[in-house]
Structure 1
Amino acid sequence: MRIVIAGGHGRIALRLERLLGARGDEVAGIVRRPEQAGELLAAGAEPVVCDLESATVAEVAGHLEGADAAVFAAGAGAGSGAARKETVDRGACVLFADAAEAAGVRRFVVVSSMGADREPPAGTDPVFAAYLRAKAAADADVRSRPGLDWTILRPGSLTDEPGTGRVTLAATTGRGEVSRDDVAAVLAALLDEPRTAGLTLELVGGNSPVDEAVSALVGS
């Protein structure tokens, strides 16, 4: 399977690239800066330099040609302001979805955020509120597309603790933490299970092995 990951230098994406490459998938990661290429190569991924804030749909579609699946794992990141939440967390996701449709790539998995299903409560940090609204708008756009077999994953608070391989994965989980290792493992399992298309899922640490948690969603 060939998989193209937007935000290929991110901490979840690099973990996912290692997992997919180790099992024999062909992986490409889209990055903004050429100097990030070495880390992708070390992770077993082909680096593709493309700025999703300024690229055209046709340009990105060219990078997606021949892919079996696309994963949007990009984000403006810590330290960015509200404007970049809009251009990356929403705008780049919409562009990537447009490009996937143009390239004929149906399987589309999005890394979103827990809390994107509701208006941020009063008192929320304005930049974080902008992030949640941008994620919500991107999710809504993806869900509106009949041309994509989409799955949206909304992890809880992310940690860099070693993964346990055990999670809680459901439409609603309640708040909690989850390691980036386990998020990557769940993404790999979702890519393997096309029957999860059309689902928006929350993810936190838990007691179910990843494969069992994904299988339980589709009744097998």
Structure 2
Amino acid sequence: MASNTIIFGGSGKCARHITRMLAAEGHNVHSVIRGHGQRSDMESLESLGAKTIIQSIEESSIEDMASIIKQTKASTVLWCAGAGGGSPERTQAVDNEGAIRSMDATAQAGVKRYIIISAIDVRDRQGKPEPEWYDDGDRQRSERVWNMIGPYMQAKFTADRNLVTENARRGLEYTIVRPGGLTSDAGKGTIAAGKVHLSSTISREDVASVVVECMKNGGTKGLAFDCVGGDTPVRDAVAEVAKEKIDGFAGRY
């Protein structure tokens, strides 16, 4: 049966793949994009099968977001928006504050299912222990990434922590998908998920497949899990994470 899905940050590269995949399966996809100069985005998204909604995440209140979630009769809310690690101010406005407003809006709209794309190694690096499976290569990469795009990682961390720690109030059935370094390569349909190392990259198309698979697998509710390139079919990798309740964020916020 077709479902209604709303994607915040619909013009992003991962979101476009998700849109195409869901539309191909007969789902109704509503894509929220900024209005400024995005006529070409509207046309290309509509060609993928989306219905576009013009709304600025930075300028939207919780009520504004809840209103469009209700209007679309969405059963799933996907947060795929990101400022791209550019301006620290815009990163804070989108990846932190905008994401948190979308969580409240989802709850206010009466929708349970909420999936957010975050990033691998998003954690409290000062106050909590590092993942026990990290090796020297992971530590070096972690240090390098946090030094390069610290405001982005911190904004993601604050949003993810809020999603988890405030969920008694919101009551969302959330999943946090935490991909490694992203590439624009064609998807392979195979990944590694769960307790993984940081050195492997993952294509945006494969991240999209992971998100779509999470929508199908209710066992991923309440989990935050890492995914990178690997050799396990996406469905099997996600199923294993769900079965074993593997959570890369637990104990690190």
**In the TM superposition, what is the alpha-carbon distance from 1:81 to its structure 2 partner?**
1.2
Q: TM-score of the superposition, structure 2-length normalised? A: 0.82
CA distance in 2, matches of 1:87, 1:153: 20
Q: Paired residues, what number? A: 218
Q: TM-score of the superposition, structure 1-length normalised? A: 0.94
Matched to 1:174, the amino acid is H
Corresponding residue to 1:102 among 97, 105, 108: 108
CA deviation string 1:42-98 (max 9, x = no partner): 1111101111111111111111112111010000125x2111111011011001111
CA distance in 1, matches of 2:224, 2:113: 14
Structure 1 vs Structure 2: percent identity of aligned residues?
29
CA deviation string 1:5-56 (max 9, x = no partner): 1100000000100000000011111101252211210111110111111111
CA deviation string 1:121-160 (max 9, x = no partner): 6676766100000000000111121311110011001001
RMSD of equivalent CA atoms: 1.8
Corresponding residue to 2:74 among 67, 70, 77: 67
Partner of 1:53: 58
CA distance in 2, matches of 1:19, 1:206: 21
CA distance in 2, matches of 1:50, 1:118: 32
* Residues 1:141 and 2:147 are matched in the alignment: no
Corresponding residue to 1:173 among 177, 183, 196: 196
CA distance in 2, matches of 1:73, 1:134: 14
Q: What SS does the aligned partner of 1:219 have?
A: helix
Query: Is the Cα–Cα contact under 8 Å of residues 94 and 138 in structure 1 kept in the other structure?
Result: yes
Partner of 1:44: 49
Runs of 4 or more consecutive aligned structure 1 residues displaced over 4 Å after TM superposition: 120-127
CA distance in 1, matches of 2:88, 2:163: 21
Partner of 2:34: 32
Gaps of 5+ in 2: 127-141, 245-253
Gaps of 5+ in 1: none
Partner of 1:208: 232
